[in-house]
A = this chain, B = another copy of it.
Amino acid sequence: MEIFLVGIKDKIENELKQLDTAGLSINVVEAKDVIVDGEQAAYSVMKKPESSVVVAAKMVKEGKVDGMVSAGSTGAVMVSALTYVGTIEGIERPMACGPVISFAPKTVILDLGANVGCQPYQMVEFAIAGSVYAQTQFGIENPTIGLLNVGAEEGKGNELAKEAYQLLKKSGLNFKGNVEGHDIPLGTVNVVVCDGFVGNILIKFSEALGKIISHWMVKEIGNKMDQEELKKISGTLYKTISPGAIMGGGPLWGVDGVVSVAHGASTADQIARTIKTTKYAVDVDLVSKLKSEFKTVRKRLNLDSTEQK
């Protein structure tokens, strides 16, 4: 694997000097501008074409690299991916998805924060992408889909949920109706569809909980059991509740190229795992798979971009 580090050249080279990089294939690519957290994403990407995230996205588009990883502002990565790499036909905006909790190891939830304030037709896009995710990552042939809502019955929820329910019902997908908060850890369905506002809050809540509970357990049990065993069990619990915290980030689904986002507060280990996941996406040619699945499902559903909106 060949690595390109994109950013302010002097700073990167100064850092590299302090590390042992012998035998590694590392290239440094200059990007003069920096987008900092809190900037308006769309505006910054437009105003700063020399920022690292834009330079890297262009490299993906031009085929100079097979994929990119950024732990910068998710919004800026989203807009750069949209503007410079583009999305798969039929997908309006990239999506973030992944498992929330390993108690439900065959459940993926999306969107996790890339799309905040969704339209009903986007929930159908999430359902399709989630199905492809469950097929390719969990090996499930006909994944079940649930709409995250405040009650099980049809007609419950806010306007988005009510309208999305009707679209999903007609979609021909394996839609099981509404699911509630408790259905997520129970793994009631394979794909949980929700607005990124809700998904993002849920995944951050769960991640923090994993850390807190495993610390609590170690403290509470103390020397009442073997310390090595306790450490192992608390570690497993952390990984089970906070798979995202362990796994690092991953590709934005729906981009016509491999563009991955990692959490801004990622550890070195999480960055390494995100790079690994990104390599996997390149190796299995996830983009082509998603593209072809999307085409098939959309054909079956008789959907085209104009009709949706």
Contacts of A233 in B (CB 8 A): 217, 220-221
Check A158 against B197 for contact (C-beta < 8 Å): yes
Name the residue of chain B whose CB is nearest to the CB of A40.
B155
Question: CB of A226 within 8 A of chain B?
Answer: yes
Whole-angstrom distance from the CB of A163 to the nearest CB of chain B? 12
Tell me the dominant secondary structure on chain A's binding face: helix
Q: How far is the CA of A208 from the CA of B188 in the complex (A)?
A: 12
Question: CB of A205 within 8 A of chain B?
Answer: yes
Q: How far is the CA of A21 from the CA of B240 in the complex (A)?
A: 47
Interface-centre pick from A155, A182, A207 (highest chain B CB count, 10 A): A182
Whole-angstrom distance from the CB of A169 to the nearest CB of chain B? 16
Check A202 against B181 for contact (C-beta < 8 Å): yes
Q: Do A182 and B198 contact each other (CB < 8 Å), given the known contacts A150-B113, A225-B224? A: no
Q: Do A200 and B181 contact each other (CB < 8 Å), given the known contacts A157-B116, A205-B205, A213-B241? A: yes
Contacts of A153 in B (CB 8 A): 37-38
A residues touching B (Cβ–Cβ < 8 Å)?
A: 37-38, 40, 101, 103, 113, 116-117, 148-150, 153-155, 157-159, 161, 180-186, 194-198, 200-209, 212-213, 216-217, 220-221, 224-226, 229, 233, 236-237, 240-241
